[in-house]
Structure 1
Amino acid sequence: MPNTTPTRALYMLFGGTGDLALRKLYPAIFNLYKKGSLSTHFALVGLSRKELTDEEFRAKIIDSIAAETENQAQAEEFASHFYWKSHDVTNLDHYQELGKIADELDKKYETNGNRIFYVSMAPRFFGIVAKNLKDQNVLSENGGFNRLVIEKPFGRDFASAKELNDDLTSAFNENQIYRIDHYLGKETTQAIPVLRFGNPMIDAIWNQNYIKDVQITLAESLGVEDRAGYYDTAGALRDMIQNHTLQIVSYLAMEQPNSFIDTDIRREKVKVLESMKIYDEQGVKDNFVRGQYGAGDNTPEYRQENGVPEDSNNNTYAAGKIIFDNPRWGKTPFYIRSGKKLADKTGRIDIEFKKPLVDIFAKGTNQPAELQSNVLTLLIDPKIGISLDINTKNSDQGFHTETVDLNYLQSDDRAAEVPLPYERLFHDILKGDGTYFASWPEVAAAWKFIDPVQKLWDNTKGDFPNYKSGSMGPQAADDLLARDGNAWYFPNK
Structure 2
Amino acid sequence: MADSYQFIIFGATGDLTHRKLIPAFYNLYRQQQLPEKIDIIAIGRRKKDSQLYREEVYASVKKHSRYEVDEESWPEFASKIKYLQFDFRQDEGYRLLKEELQKEAHWIYYLAVAPEYFALIVDKLEKEGLAGKETKNTRVVIEKPFGKNLETARQLNDKINKVFSEENIYRIDHYLGKEMLQNIMVIRFANSLFEPLWNNKHIDNIQIVSSEIGGVGERGAYYDQSGALRDMVQNHMMQLLALTAMEPPVDLETDSIRAEKVKVLKALEMDFQNIDKYVVRGQYGPGQVNGVKVPAYREENRVDNDSGTETFVALKLFVNNLRWSGVPFYIKTGKRLTQKSTEIIVEFKGGAHPVYLAGNKNILPNLLVIRIQPLEGIFLQFNAKRPGTDNFILPVQMDYCQNCQLGENSPEAYERLIHDILKGDATLFTHWDEVEYSWRFIDRIAEAWSREEIAFPNYPAGSNGPLEAERLLERDGRSWWHLEGFHGEHLILKAKGVNNNEI
Contact 2:109/2:141, CA 8 A, preserved across alignment: yes
Please state if 1:37 is matched with 2:33: yes
Please state if 1:339 is matched with 2:331: no
1:160 to 152, 161, 165: 152
Counterpart-to-counterpart distance in 2, 1:402 and 1:312:
47
1:208 to 200, 223, 228: 200
Q: CA deviation at 1:240?
A: 0.9
Q: CA deviation at 1:97?
A: 2.6
1:396-415 CA-to-partner distances (Å, cap 9, x unmatched) read: 32322111111112253513
- CA shift in 2, pair 1:397/1:10, >3 Å: same
1:318-357 CA-to-partner distances (Å, cap 9, x unmatched) read: 1101211111111101100110110111111110000128
TM-score when normalising by structure 2: 0.91
Counterpart-to-counterpart distance in 1, 2:220 and 2:362:
48
Please state if 1:381 is matched with 2:373: yes
- CA shift in 2, pair 1:6/1:329, >3 Å: farther
Tell me what 2:17 maps to: 21
Counterpart-to-counterpart distance in 2, 1:359 and 1:347:
35
Please state if 1:102 is matched with 2:101: yes
1:233-267 CA-to-partner distances (Å, cap 9, x unmatched) read: 11111111111111011100000001111111001
Percent identical residues: 37
Tell me what 1:436 maps to: 428
Please tell me the residue identity of whatever aligns with 2:31.
Answer: K
Please state if 1:9 is matched with 2:9: no
1:108-164 CA-to-partner distances (Å, cap 9, x unmatched) read: xxxx42111000111111111112212321138998521100111111100001100
Please tell me the residue identity of whatever aligns with 2:357.
Answer: A
- CA shift in 2, pair 1:171/1:358, >3 Å: same
1:416-470 CA-to-partner distances (Å, cap 9, x unmatched) read: 1111000110011111111111111001111111112122334432211111111
Tell me what 2:354 maps to: 359
Q: CA deviation at 1:65?
A: 1.4
Tell me what 2:264 maps to: 272
- CA shift in 2, pair 1:373/1:38, >3 Å: same
1:61-93 CA-to-partner distances (Å, cap 9, x unmatched) read: 222212434311312211111112223333233
Contact 1:279/1:452, CA 8 A, preserved across alignment: no
1:348 to 343, 351, 354: 343
- CA shift in 2, pair 1:54/1:458, >3 Å: same
Counterpart-to-counterpart distance in 1, 2:217 and 2:253:
39
Counterpart-to-counterpart distance in 2, 1:141 and 1:352:
47
Structure 2 residue runs of 5 or longer lacking an equivalent are 484-493, 496-503
Tell me what 2:382 maps to: 390
Counterpart-to-counterpart distance in 1, 2:459 and 2:227:
15
Counterpart-to-counterpart distance in 1, 2:203 and 2:4:
46
Tell me what 1:309 maps to: 304
Between 1:13-22 and 1:305-314, the stretch displaced more is 305-314
Counterpart-to-counterpart distance in 2, 1:198 and 1:78:
38
Q: CA deviation at 1:39?
A: 4.3
Secondary structure of 1:115's counterpart equals strand
Between 1:34-43 and 1:22-31, the stretch displaced more is 34-43
Q: CA deviation at 1:44?
A: 1.3
Please state if 1:217 is matched with 2:209: yes
- CA shift in 2, pair 1:369/1:462, >3 Å: closer
Contact 1:318/1:339, CA 8 A, preserved across alignment: yes
Tell me what 2:82 maps to: 83
Tell me what 1:73 maps to: 72
2:162 to 162, 167, 170: 170
1:235 to 227, 232, 247: 227
Tell me what 1:293 maps to: 284
Counterpart-to-counterpart distance in 2, 1:371 and 1:411:
31
Contact 1:184/1:421, CA 8 A, preserved across alignment: yes
Counterpart-to-counterpart distance in 2, 1:409 and 1:434:
28
TM-score when normalising by structure 1: 0.93
Secondary structure of 1:72's counterpart equals coil
Counterpart-to-counterpart distance in 1, 2:133 and 2:225:
40
Please state if 1:423 is matched with 2:426: no
Please state if 1:199 is matched with 2:199: no
Contact 2:205/2:327, CA 8 A, preserved across alignment: yes
1:260-309 CA-to-partner distances (Å, cap 9, x unmatched) read: 111110010011111101543x2322200000111113222211222222
Counterpart-to-counterpart distance in 1, 2:30 and 2:5:
16
Aligned length: 478
Query: What are the residue-to-residue correspondences of 1:323-338 with 2, within 5 Å?
Result: 323-338=318-333
More strand by share: 2
Counterpart-to-counterpart distance in 2, 1:42 and 1:411:
30
2:406 to 399, 403, 414: 414
Please tell me the residue identity of whatever aligns with 1:263.
Answer: D
Secondary structure of 2:382's counterpart equals strand
- CA shift in 2, pair 1:398/1:7, >3 Å: farther
Counterpart-to-counterpart distance in 2, 1:252 and 1:163:
30
Please tell me the residue identity of whatever aligns with 2:294.
Answer: T
- CA shift in 2, pair 1:50/1:459, >3 Å: farther
- CA shift in 2, pair 1:468/1:6, >3 Å: farther
Structure 1 residue runs of 5 or longer lacking an equivalent are 107-111
- CA shift in 2, pair 1:30/1:359, >3 Å: same
Contact 1:58/1:79, CA 8 A, preserved across alignment: yes
Tell me what 2:50 maps to: 54
Counterpart-to-counterpart distance in 2, 1:413 and 1:199:
21
Counterpart-to-counterpart distance in 1, 2:25 and 2:186:
26
Contact 1:219/1:338, CA 8 A, preserved across alignment: yes
Please state if 1:478 is matched with 2:470: yes
Between 1:201-210 and 1:67-76, the stretch displaced more is 67-76
